[in-house]
Homo-oligomer: A and B are copies of this chain.
Amino acid sequence: MHVLVIGAAGMIGRKLVERFAAGKEILGGEIRRLSLVDVVETPMPPALSDITRAFAIDISETGNAAKLAGLRPDIIFHLAAIVSGEAEADFDKGYRINLDGTRALFDAIRLEGLKEPYRPRLVFASSIAVFGAPFPEKIGDEFFTTPLTSYGTQKAISELLLSDYSRRGFFDGIGIRLPTICVRPGRPNKAASGFFSNILREPLVGEEAVLPVDEDVRHWFASPRAAVDFFIHAATLDLDRVGARRNLTMPGLSALVGEEIEALRRVAGERAVRLIRREPDPLIRQIVAGWPTDFDARRAEGLGFRAEKSFDEIIRIHIDDELGGTITHGG
């Protein structure tokens, strides 16, 4: 089996590749070849170096998507994207990468299939940004996609293309709308959503973190481990069970910032909680007020997708996967 990961140097892309390295049979057959694509250099997984080839290319540039489709991978994970803030700030770049890049990939697969029959599985990383306020209390599986960002628009368009190309038989596609990933590893960044992770990740290693919103802010979360699980499950799921509606809101945990903090207290103690510094930021408050807070993801749940049920679980996964299983700064 030949597996292609586009956006392999991103946070989820790396973790997905790590999962392959831990078990070559994870996709229901032996991974005999792995192609990793990103615009930046992709770290090579040591355990898979003999079967891996990395490409530092931009799929929106002419010829690149055709080159990748020409490799005829069996499973394609498409995670490459310009993030929300940048797609809003740079209109041309956002549309070029997130829409034209995706369409170039889809079309290259279609044209490859015209040469000789070819119908790979394609798993697309979509986002809850396809939805736009005002929202119902829980966003159901049949709620319309009226994004309020260019990023959300590009993801919603990609979802429509994915469904039509799948219906036509050009590939067997599935789009998965990821919740906000928490705890995001790495250093604090400037994303408006960064604080959801910062207020857990930093105190767990004895560092201060800033909370710019009130504790009654509610949002929708899943761990990086759950996200990787979603991709693996989407790649191996019988898509006849999914039918024509190929884009699914993934399960998640709807929780308050206050519940995050209570979970931190239970897992790491009062000392960790005291490292959260409250610094209200009106701009971030306003941005976050427009975000969805809860979903009814029963379709995905019925198809076997699973996420965490508590923030305690999410924190423990972070400790296991990023901190070697123990914390030294709690208490």
A-side residues, CB < 8 A to B, are 91, 132, 142-148, 150, 153, 156-157, 160-161, 163-164, 167-168, 244-245
Instruction: Point out the residues of chain B lying under 8 angstroms from A160, CB to CB.
Output: 145, 147, 153, 156-157, 160
Docked CA distance A156–B146 (Å): 11
Copies of this chain, whole number: 2
Q: How far is the CA of A150 from the CA of B110 in the complex (A)?
A: 14
Given contacts A145-B145, A146-B245, contact A161 B168 (CB under 8 A): no
B167 and A148 contact, CB distance less than 8 A: yes
A142 neighbours in B (Cβ, 8 Å): 143-144
Q: Is the CB of A144 within 8 A of B147?
A: no
- Shortest CB-to-CB span from A98 to chain B, Å, is 12
One of B91, B147, B245 near A168 (C-beta < 8 A): B91
Known A143-B144, A145-B144, A145-B145; judge A132-B164 contact (CB<8 A). no
Can you name the residue of chain B whose Cβ is closest to the Cβ of A150? B164
Query: Given A132-B244, A244-B132, A164 and B144 touching (CB < 8 A)?
Result: no
Q: Which residues of the other chain, B, contact A150 by a CB distance below 8 angstroms?
A: 164, 168
A93, B245: Cα distance in complex, Å: 24
Return A37 CB to nearest CB of chain B, in Å: 24
A153 touches B163 (CB 8 A): yes
Least CB distance, A287 to chain B, in whole angstroms? 15
How distant is A138 from chain B, measured CB to nearest CB, in Å?
A: 13
**7 closest Cβ contacts across the A-B interface?**
A153-B164, A144-B144, A157-B157, A146-B245, A153-B160, A142-B144, A156-B160
Nearest CB of chain B from residue A6's CB, rounded to whole Å? 21
State whether B146 touches A244 (Cβ < 8 A). Answer: yes
Residues from chain B with a CB closer than 8 A to the CB of A145 are: 144-145, 160
Q: Whole-angstrom distance from the CB of A174 to the nearest CB of chain B?
A: 14
Inside 8 A of A161's CB, which chain B residues have their CB? 153, 157
- A147 near B132 (CB under 8 angstroms)? no
Minimum CB–CB distance for A152 against chain B, Å: 9
Looking at the assembled complex, report how far the CB atom of A85 sits from the nearest CB atom of chain B, in whole angstroms: 15
Instruction: Give every chain B residue within 8 A of A132 (Cβ-Cβ).
Output: 244-245
Shortest CB–CB separation between residue A124 and chain B, in angstroms?
Answer: 15
25 contacts between A and B (CB under 8 A): A91-B168, A132-B244, A132-B245, A142-B143, A144-B144, A145-B145, A145-B160, A146-B163, A146-B244, A146-B245, A147-B160, A147-B163, A147-B164, A148-B167, A148-B244, A150-B164, A150-B168, A153-B160, A153-B161, A153-B164, A156-B160, A157-B157, A157-B160, A157-B161, A160-B160
